[in-house]
Chains A and B, each alone.
Chain A
Amino acid sequence: MSDSPIAVEQHGPELRHHFVDAEQQRDAASLGMWLFLATEIMFFGGMFLAYLIYRYAYYNEFAAGSRSIDIWLGTINTAVLICSSLTVALGVRAAQMGKRRLLVTLLLITIVLGLVFLGIKGVEWYQKFEEHHVPGTSFNASDLEKPPYSHGEIDQRHEQIYFSLYFAMTGLHALHMIIGVGIFIFLTYYAWKGRYSPKYYTPVEIGGLYWHFVDIVWIYLFPLLYLIDRKPLR
């Protein structure tokens, strides 16, 4: 890390003045994003704790709630997100190799997949509104089918806790998706303008890290919310 004031003249426009060289800048950006993802883990962690405690206490209601949300839409959405992760990974690769057109195409596909995910999520939420499964005064879960081995009727109060967590968790995940789509629109714009090169593609890379993280959160939300108990009824 040799530093000299003259070096300032030699670097490209993407190197910011306070860094010694491009490597330092990229390492800093990457570490920054990883640290941010660590905070995100703790952010979702608060909800996972709530989920853990209530699922243990109110298993029947959680199972019943889980059966009532559409597993097909959930599975399709998982697949959509995994596909988008693939396109992001390929996009970073395209940036590494300096293939501008490919990069722009892949980023656009990612955005479309992200929007498809949000659309399907919207359909699911709409269903829940229609079915009066949104916590609050008009909540009514009497139509929920009881899971097998369950003991007795569904407690409407506890069922609301499941749906509270469902809406909080999927809602905040969707918010992250929306932010992700926003970031990717920027990335696409700058990729189209040709700002990224094999020497400088850090924004694509750390934007990709964010997208993958949001994918991972969903990878956990899917079994936790949709697959609690799907055993066939006796």
Chain B
Amino acid sequence: MATVAVTAERENYLNQEYGIRSWLLTTDHKRIALLYLASITFFFFVGGFFALLIRLELLTPAGDLVQADTYNKLFSMHGQVMIFFFLIPSIPAVLGNFLVPLMIGAKDLAFPRINLLSWYLYIIAGTIYVHCIVTGGVDTGWTFYTPFSTAFSNTRVIEAGIAIFIAGFSSILTGLNFVVTIHRMRAPGMTWSRLPLFIWAMYATSIIQLLGTPVLAITLLLVVFERAFNLGIFDPTRGGDPLLFQHLFWFYSHPAVYIMILPAMAVESEVVACFTRKRIFGYNFVAMSSIAIAVFGFLVWAHHMFTAGISLYSALIFSILSYLVAVPSAIKVFNWTATMYKGSISFTTPMLYAFGFIGLFTMGGLTGLFLAALGIDVHVHDTYFVIAHFHYIMVGGAVMGYLGGLHFWWPKISGRMYPEGWGRLAALLVFAGFNLTFFPQFILGYMGMPRRYWQYPPEFQVLNVLSTAGSTILAVGYVLPMIYFLWSMRYGKIANDNPWDAAGLEWKTSSPPPTFNFEEAPEVTWEAYNYDEIPAPAEVPVER
């Protein structure tokens, strides 16, 4: 590959056309993936900036860095930006968009123009939201709880609600596209049992997006109506039930956690298989556990409401159902671990992220057991224990998965290798910084520090200082990849078509792939993860 002269570069999706127009009007799923990559990276750093301000404010017990109202807006917008504008589109809209057609041997997604529309919806939503931020922001918390959001907040709730409503439709259209593509566009021979586990998990994710997101959409719309037109559906002064909002909201927003974590699991299955050079242990169970998570994920939402005033009996029902969804998650962790047994493991950057993912997801999942236990949840609900728990899942899980996947497929996306040494350093920084940031929050939570507190009693300070210290390391860990990815686009070593010697259709086409993905229409005659048929490289080709 080093012999390939730069001038003889093959035609691919990146160099086929040039100019802004060729990007903004593209229907190529790979280009749309890159459009998403750029836009969600922007929102990731916006949300990250809010997070840093939050951590800096919490350095001291007194509220002294920003005003209380500003602080409330910061954590509200941190949550909304990170969830609706970064995490939910992150892996599906970037890696999924890029990889789903490649992995199943299709020329594109089923509806390329709808795919572009979905990006434009996202951009419209993002623009409205940015406008909301710069003109005053919103202070309802990411949860929009009524009646605070409908009758008491005097910030830009309507604007934020509409932005998230539109972003929801972007997410629905992505999911719809994936389901249709996976059903209708598979290459000859690509049977369901030959699908990469990435596709299985993406399919499960799409189901949640399709069936959950509309409920959030209508809920936010009703909140907007209530503010704008004085309807009274959630209004307690007119006999409305504020818990109804919470039921509707969590019907989406709990499964939304799985929209974020299932794609990360999808990435891990690919990465672990490649860098242990083995078929994933228990393929069927891992595939089915994705579907099980998607279905059971819809049955547990009221475990966010154990202290909210729901009936005792429904609390019992939702608690027991919550434990059901823990089982498929556990199955996945056990299977990844078992895959490493008698493997041939190499420690590339994606694999380091995978190790980190498994460790952090395990801790996040196990603390989920604490929260599903009714008696304990009463004490730790709405404290920093919950904050730590879901950051272990969403940052320790979803973001680690996203970064790992981005490194793993970067050669395919850009045709260049990222600098492996820097990659490993960043992975270690993220892991260390993450734990330092969020582990103290478990203790804080059990000590009783409530979430969304602008000022706090002084006895909580030590742990908060630790957490803030960790967040700065985490920030460095996040900025590094952005720098070296940009650097590698120009200066990185040219990647060959399959730099990791990985199985999977996406590695059988050139890097970067041509516009219609494959020079010749592929026909699949092999099982997924046929690592026994691919000779293992003696050493992983890494640049030091």
Contact = CB atoms under 8 A, between A and B. Distances in A.
Contacts of A40: 214
B183 A38 contact: no
A137 B237 CA distance: 13
A1 interface: yes
Given A17-B107, A31-B184, A53-B241, A36 B233 contact: no
A46 B253 CA distance: 14
**Most chain A beta carbons < 10 A, residue from B184, B213, B215:** B184
Main secondary structure, interface of B, reads helix
A45 B215 contact: yes
A38 B237 contact: no
B172 A39 contact: yes
A43 B215 CA distance: 5
Nearest to A1: B188
Given A3-B521, A46-B248, A39 B211 contact: yes
Interface in A32-71: 32, 35-36, 38-40, 42-47, 49-50, 53-54, 57-58
B255 to A, nearest CB: 11
B125 to A, nearest CB: 17
Contact of B217 (A5, A43, A58, A135): A43
Contacts of A44: 218
Contact of A168 (B211, B225, B238): B225
Nearest to A162: B232
B210 A46 contact: no
Interface stretch (B108-116, B385-393, B486-494): B108-116
A157 interface: yes
Nearest to B209: A39
Contacts of B286: none
B54 interface: no
A2 B185 CA distance: 12
A136 to B, nearest CB: 4
B211 A38 contact: yes
A53 B217 contact: no
A135 B188 contact: no
A17 B185 CA distance: 13
A128 B226 CA distance: 18
B185 A161 contact: no
Contact of A32 (B110, B211, B226): B110
Contacts of B215: 42-43, 45-46
A1 B111 CA distance: 19
A155 interface: yes
A18 B516 contact: yes
Nearest to B179: A35
B12 to A, nearest CB: 17
A18 B184 contact: no
A84 interface: no
A interface SS class: helix
Interface in A20-38: 24, 27-28, 31-32, 35-36, 38
B265 to A, nearest CB: 23
Nearest to B113: A16
Contacts of A1: 188
A158 B238 contact: yes
A160 interface: yes
Interface in A127-173: 135-137, 155, 157-158, 160-161, 164-165, 167-168, 172
A4 interface: yes
A164 B238 CA distance: 11
Contact of B210 (A2, A38, A164, A172): A38
A49 B249 CA distance: 12
A43 B214 CA distance: 5
Contact of A36 (B107, B176, B521): B176
A107 B180 CA distance: 28
A27 B181 CA distance: 11
Given A49-B248, A158-B238, A167-B231, A18 B214 contact: no
A168 B222 CA distance: 8
Contacts of A31: 179-180, 183-184
A28 B180 contact: yes
A53 B310 CA distance: 14
Contact of B211 (A2, A42, A54, A158): A42
A114 to B, nearest CB: 22
Contacts of A2: 188
A58 B239 contact: yes
B313 interface: no
A18 B107 contact: yes
Given A50-B244, A164-B233, A18 B112 contact: yes
B92 interface: no
A3 B517 CA distance: 14
A164 B183 contact: no
B230 interface: yes
A43 B211 CA distance: 9
A161 B516 contact: no
Contacts of B218: 43-47, 172
Contacts of A3: 187-188, 521
B532 interface: no
A28 B107 contact: no
Given A36-B176, A38-B210, A158-B238, A168 B184 contact: no
A5 B521 contact: yes
B289 interface: no
B106 interface: yes
Contacts of B110: 18, 28, 32
A27 B239 contact: no
A16 B111 CA distance: 10
A202 to B, nearest CB: 12
A17 B231 contact: no
A157 B237 CA distance: 8
B230 A135 contact: yes
B522 to A, nearest CB: 9
A228 B226 CA distance: 24
Given A27-B184, A135-B231, A49 B247 contact: yes
Which 5 pairs, one residue from A and one from B, show the smallest C-beta to C-beta distance?
A: A46-B218, A43-B214, A164-B231, A136-B230, A18-B107
24 contacts: A1-B188, A2-B188, A3-B188, A3-B521, A5-B520, A17-B107, A18-B112, A28-B111, A39-B172, A39-B176, A42-B215, A43-B218, A46-B222, A46-B248, A50-B222, A54-B233, A54-B240, A155-B239, A157-B232, A158-B238, A160-B238, A165-B233, A168-B225, A168-B231
Interface of B: 106-112, 114, 172, 176-177, 179-181, 183-185, 187-188, 210-215, 217-219, 221-222, 225-226, 229-233, 237-241, 244, 247-248, 251, 516, 520-521
Given A3-B187, A39-B176, A50-B233, 10 more contacts: A3-B188, A3-B521, A31-B179, A31-B180, A43-B215, A46-B215, A58-B239, A135-B229, A158-B238, A160-B232
